[in-house]
Amino acid sequence: VSLLGLKTFHHGVHPPEAKDDTRDLAIRRFPFAPLLVIPLTQHLGRPALPCVREGERVVRGQRIAKPDGFMSVAMHAPASGVVRRIALCPSISGRMVEGVYLEPHPGSTQEVLEGEPCPLESAGPEEILSAIQEAGLVGLGGAAFPTHAKLKLPEGARVDTLIVNGAECEPYLTTDHRVMLEQRDDIFVGIRYLLRVTGVERVIVAVEANKADAGEHLRAGLPPDLPASVEMLRVKYPQGAEKLLITALLGREVPTGGLPSDAHALCINVATAAEIGRLLPRGRGIQERVVTVGGPAVERKGNYRVPIGTPLRFLLEEVGVAPDVNRVFLGGPMMGTAASSLDIPITKGTSGVIAFTETEAERTHRTVHPCIRCGYCVDACPMFLDPSRLGLLAQNGEYERMADDLDLMSCFECGSCSFVCPSHIPLVQEFRFAKAAVRKSRAA
Amino acid sequence: MARLESTLEIRTSPHVLSGYSVDTIMFNVVLALLPAAAFAVYAFGLMALVTLGAAVATCLVTEQVFCRLAGRPTTLGDWSAAITGLLYGLTLPPALPLWMTVVGGVLAVGLGKSLFGGLGFNPFNPALVGRAFLQAAFPVAMTSWVPAFQPGRFGALPASTATLPFSVPLVDGVSTATPLALWKFDRQATEWGDMALGFIGGSTGETCAVLILLGGAYLVARNMMNWRIPAAVLATVGVLSAGLHAVDPERYASAGFMLFSGGLMLGAIFMASDMVGSPMTGRGCLVYGGLIGVLVVVIRTWGGMPEGVMYAILLGNATAPHLDRWTRPRVYGTRGKVRP
């Protein structure tokens, strides 16, 4: 679909973009916290296996945990220091997970230990895949799916297009925007690696039109031998969702329950591509990531390259927050997760830390009314579900019916329905609950 | 920072909302109705003010009483009872006896809405439920019209307004027929320009089409009304009646007359589009609007009554949930593939 020359998908919503505060702020390094907490589960899949002992001295960049099987990635020391403990630590999900407590040396430098490089010219696809796994790379857009697993196409899959996702449709977040402006060459090198792994014919870098400067910057520097183009997309949420990106750019639908490769496409977040291009030639692992720290309650907003494992409390103290801050969440405001504790660390999947000060009036504004059948949610749902009807069924606990008759499992929880609902019915919350119930009963 | 943790609020995403809420939508509908209501008072004088006031007051009181009876917190703040009251009042003949206005208002909110569970659960437009009852119970009073712009209209009320319950309504010295009745019974057409501007007799708020359109445009611009519904109703009525008029101009009224006469504008714009009683899908709205348009033309042309907007909308309301089911869009990713 194309509107005014900009490609897009059907339905969706227009939350305030709120990116002006940080879009022009260059990425800056963040100091080391006195204690870093590196969970061994920062990705979807099995926890990594620690390969250091308590009391052991480690060097920044050194591998501290190795992948446990295919669906797992390595972890690297974000700073030089001493492993204090390997014990349970709090995570964003609320669950305690195993983690490495690392105390950086007071004078830990930014110097990084480098390993065996993965040369672009001579490495084969399998070597590149294992190098990506060893580098600990996961989808940096927030999903934290192991990148090598995503690139490992199913048997018989035919993929013709690689989409590098720079849509960054979540309000407030500007990390991908900055990465595109500041790490252009890394992105192109990363694309070259990805081309070797997947053997696709063409690459599309997809950028929402509110980052036109980044799109133009990439376009101007495109190496002539790279089969890549930059495509501007209409600003609309959730344009960055993989399926909708494929639909907008290629006019193809990913079948329900299928993978992007069923639509002959593959999507990689632009920051992930940049990290592949930055880490692989040097044999490094990922031990920091770019995080947008913003929201009305943050004093020194910005885009920071934050060491993995930095506790939220340290991060917020460093940037300064308003004394009456009452809401902190990781990720963007549409799909991000509220922080229940300030002891949880920044992980590979943390794209943003947003802090709000919500007034009493704003809170009462969320009074729940009955559904008035306005149909806003029906017009918003990018999957063409019927959130209104699903919401009514959810209230009666008819989860199986939601899944069987109304395609509940197609909901990817983008939050568009809850965003527009004038009755403030917590639709996504109900759907999350219902999906979990259906999954549980199907597994049984 | 120690304090921070204890005050952290944990809520699931999304963490931002569009800012639309039921009460702001409903309040804006009230705003959009005010110009038409103000014109009604200007055209009919004191009796329109009294009728509208009584209608709104009755609806608000009934809503409050039913909330009390049901043991629920008051819902007056969502403005929906005020809309029902205004719309109901605008559909009534301006000189209707007050006690009838009150009885109909109680039924509108009580039977039309509260007994079904309140806002969001009413299958039919409550204002029209109240009016339908009056139409059935008091057909004479409901079709006794007074001319607009009578001299001295701001000074005194017509005798009919103050009649006591169950006494025969006094017939006023001055009464008039609506353009629709003139056409139906005497084949006498009214200039549609006069109707558009409201220089005619009719129900309190059915007279000035321009102001009603203006209110509708405001709501569409604020995304508080689905434009498809009024557009489909008006387009269907326009096309159908233009076709009939072309066949036999003596028997069938012109499209302009059909569009601007009677309650069509008020009904198409403010009642057919009522969110609760209308479908939610885009295609459903078009079918629903088309259906109402066809019914309006059929009832007006071949029915026993001069006006059919009310029944057309009530019948449309009954089809809305089914239309939603029949026009449900294809879910993303289900094209030609068997789902696991």
Let me know if A121 is exposed, middle or buried by CB neighbors in 10 A (0-12, 13-18, 19+): exposed
Cα separation, B92 vs B206, in Å, equals 9
Q: Do B9 and A171 touch (CB under 8 A)?
A: no
Please state, in angstroms and rounded to a whole number, the distance separating the CA atoms of residues A92 and A99. Answer: 13
Whether A309 contacts chain B with CB within 8 A? no
In angstroms, the separation between the Cα of residue A367 and the nearest Cα of chain B is 9
pLDDT value for B1 = 53
Banded model confidence at residue B340, pLDDT cuts 50, 70, 90: very low
Minimal Cβ distance to B332: which of A15, A253, A316: A253
If phi over 0 gives left and psi between -120 and 50 gives alpha, with beta otherwise, what is residue A258? beta
Q: What is the DSSP letter of B329?
A: P
Mutation for testing the A interface, residue in B1, B3, B4 having most A CBs under 10 Å: B4
DSSP per residue, B276-312: TTS-SSHHHHHHHHHHHHHHHHHHHHHSSSS--HHHH
**Residues A234-253: tens digit of each pLDDT:** 999 999 999 999 999 999 99
A residues 119..158 contacting B (CB < 8 A) = none
Supply the pLDDT for residue B168.
61
- What does the pLDDT look like over B3-39, one tens digit per residue? 566 678 888 889 998 989 999 999 999 999 999 999 9
What secondary structure does DSSP assign to A223-273, as a single string?
-TTS-EEEEEE---BTTTSHHHHHHHHH---PPTT--GGGGTEEEEEHHHH
Are A255 and B334 in contact (CB < 8 Å)?
yes
- Taking each helix axis from N to C end, the angle separating B282-302 and B228-247, rounded to the nearest 10 degrees, works out to 40
Tokens of A141: 């857009």
Q: A-contacting residues of B 192-251, CB under 8 Å?
A: 226
For residue B323, give how far its alpha carbon lies from the nearest alpha carbon of chain A (Å). 13
- What is the pLDDT, as a whole number, of residue B339? 44
pLDDT exceeding 70 applies to what percent of chain B? Answer: 91
Cβ of residue B4 closer than 8 Å to a chain A Cβ = yes
Q: Which residues of B touch A420 (CB under 8 A)?
A: 18, 20
Contact at CB, A253 and B278, closer than 8 angstroms? no
Give A10→chain B minimum CA distance, Å: 10
Distance (Å) of CA A38 to CA A47, A130, A215: 12, 22, 34
* Torsion A434-A435-A438-A441 (CA) sign: negative
Q: Would you state the pLDDT for residue B86?
A: 95
Residues of B in contact with A170 (CB under 8 A): none
Instruction: Please give the residue of chain A at the shortest CA–CA distance from B20.
Output: A422
Distance (Å) from the alpha carbon of A147 to chain B's nearest alpha carbon: 24
Report the residue from B8, B275, B328 with minimal CB separation from A372. Answer: B275
The shortest CB-CB distance from B331 to any of A15, A410, A413 is to A410
How many angstroms separate the Cα of B184 from the Cα of each of A266, B92, B247, B270, B304? Answer: 67, 20, 18, 25, 9
Tell me the chain B residues in contact with residue A169 when contact means C-beta distances shorter than 8 Å: none
Q: Is the CB of A419 less than 8 angstroms away from the CB of B9?
A: no
Q: Tell me how far apart the alpha carbons of residues A406 and A423 are, in angstroms, rounded to a whole number.
A: 21
A337 close contact with B: CB closer than 8 A = yes
Q: By CA distance, what is B24's nearest residue in A?
A: A422
Please name the helix (run of DSSP H) or strand (run of DSSP E) that holds residue A387, with its range, or none.
helix A387-395
Asked if residues A79 and A105 have their Cβ atoms less than 8 Å apart, the reply is yes
User: Which residue has better confidence, A123 or B335?
Assistant: A123
Q: Which residue of B has its CA nearest to A14?
A: B18
**DSSP string of B146-192?**
--SS-TTTTT---GGGGPPTTSPPPPPS--B--HHHHHHHH-----H
- Strand ranges across the sheet with A228-233: A2-3, A6-7, A228-233, A202-208, A161-166, A265-269
Interface of A with B in 43-102 (CB under 8 A): none
Which of B135, B56, B45 has the alpha carbon at shortest distance from B90? B56
Per-residue pLDDT of B234-292, as tens digits, reads 999 999 999 999 999 888 888 988 888 888 999 999 999 999 999 999 999 999 999 99
Per DSSP bridges, beta strands A57-58 and A161-166 are unpaired
Sign of the CA dihedral running B70, B73, B79, B85: positive
Query: Which among A27, A65, A293 is positioned nearest to A172, based on CA atoms?
Result: A293
Task: Tell how strand A63-66 and strand A302-307 pair up.
Answer: unpaired
Whether A441 contacts A409, CB under 8 Å: no
- B10–A contact, CB cutoff 8 A: yes
Query: In this predicted structure, what is the pLDDT of residue B172?
Result: 52
Q: Is the dihedral of CA B228, B232, B234, B238 positive or negative?
A: positive
B13, A258: Cβ pair inside 8 Å? no
Distance CA(A202)–CA(A298), nearest Å, equals: 41
- A374, B9: Cβ pair inside 8 Å? no
B319 touches chain A (CB under 8 A): no
What pLDDT is attached to residue B189? 75
Is B335 within 8 Å of A379 when comparing Cβ atoms? Answer: no
Residues A84, A102 contacting (CB under 8 angstroms): yes
What is the ipTM, given to two decimal places? 0.90
Handedness of CA A311, A315, A316, A318 (dihedral sign): positive
Cα A377 from Cα A379, distance rounded (Å): 5
Provide the pLDDT for residue B261: 83
Tens-place pLDDT, residues B176-223: 677 787 777 777 777 777 776 666 777 777 768 889 999 999 999 999
Measured between alpha carbons, how far is B105 from A272 in angstroms, rounded to an integer? 63
What mean pLDDT, rounded, does chain A reach? Answer: 93
Using CB atoms, pick whichever of B13, B16, B24 lies closest to residue A428. Answer: B13
Provide the pLDDT for residue B4.
62
pLDDT at A400: 95
Percent of chain A with pLDDT over 70: 98
CB contact under 8 Å between A366 and B17, yes or no, is yes
For residue B11, the model assigns a pLDDT of 83
Question: What pLDDT shows up at residue B159?
Answer: 74
CB contact under 8 A, B331 and A384: yes
Distance CA A339, CA A355 (A): 10
Task: Answer whether B6 touches A (CB < 8 Å).
Answer: no
Q: Please identify which residue in the block is written with the tokens 């109703």.
A: B233
Contact list, A318 vs chain B (CB under 8 Å):
none
Enumerate the residues of chain A whose CB falls inside 8 A of the CB of residue B22: 369, 372, 422-423
Tell which B residues from 157 to 176 touch A, by Cβ distance under 8 Å. Answer: none
pLDDT for residue A108? 72
Q: Does B18 sit within 8 Å of A410, measured CB to CB?
A: no
Spell out the residues 6+ positions from residue B19 whose beta carbon is closer than 8 angstroms to its own.
Answer: none
What mean pLDDT is predicted for residues B156-173? 68
Is B169 a residue whose pLDDT tops 60? Answer: no
Q: pLDDT digit string (tens) for A347-387? A: 999 999 999 987 766 766 678 999 999 999 999 999 999 99
Q: Is B236 helix (H, G, I), strand (E, B) or coil?
A: helix
Query: How far, rounded to the nearest angstrom, does the alpha carbon of residue A391 sit from its chain's CA centroid?
Result: 27
Per-residue buried b or exposed e for B172-188, using 16+ beta carbons within 10 Å of the residue's own CB = beeebbbbbbbbbeeee
Yes or no, beta carbons of A15 and B4 under 8 Å apart:
no
Among A339, A344, A336, smallest CA distance to A328 is for: A339
**Minimum-distance CB partner of A342 among B5, B276, B331:** B5
Q: Is A353 exposed, middle or buried (0-12, 13-18, 19+ CB in 10 A)?
A: buried
Helix, strand, or coil here: B235?
helix
* Cβ separation A378–B339 shorter than 8 A: no
Question: Residues of B with CB below 8 A from A356's CB?
Answer: 15
Question: Which tens digit of pLDDT belongs to each residue from B36-70?
Answer: 999 999 988 999 999 999 999 999 999 999 999 99
The first and second tokens of residue A310, run together, are: 């930095």
- Residue A167's Cβ-side half-sphere holds a number of Cα atoms within 13 Å equal to 28
Asked if B1's CB is within 8 angstroms of A342's CB, the reply is yes
Residues B99, A224: Cα–Cα separation, whole Å: 84
Give, for all 444 residues of chain A, the pLDDT tens digit: 555 678 999 999 999 999 999 999 999 999 999 999 999 999 999 999 999 999 999 999 999 999 999 999 999 999 999 999 999 999 988 889 999 999 999 877 778 888 889 998 899 999 999 999 999 999 998 889 999 999 999 888 899 999 999 999 999 999 999 999 999 999 999 999 999 999 898 999 999 999 999 999 999 999 999 999 999 999 999 999 999 999 999 999 999 989 999 999 999 999 999 999 999 999 999 999 999 999 999 999 999 999 999 999 999 999 999 888 888 999 999 999 998 889 999 999 999 999 998 776 676 667 899 999 999 999 999 999 999 999 999 999 999 999 999 999 999 999 999 999 999 999 999 999 999 999 999 988
How far apart CA A351 and CA B47 sit, in angstroms, is 64
Q: Look at residue B336 and tell me whether its pLDDT is greater than 70.
A: no
Whether residues A327 and B9 touch (CB distance < 8 A) is answered with yes
Instruction: For residue A257, list chain B residues with Cβ-Cβ distance below 8 A.
Output: 333, 339-340
* Per-residue confidence (pLDDT) for residue A116, from 0 to 100: 87
SS3 A42: coil
pLDDT at residue B302 tops 70: yes
- Chain A residues 311-330 with CB within 8 Å of chain B: 313, 316-317, 321, 323-329
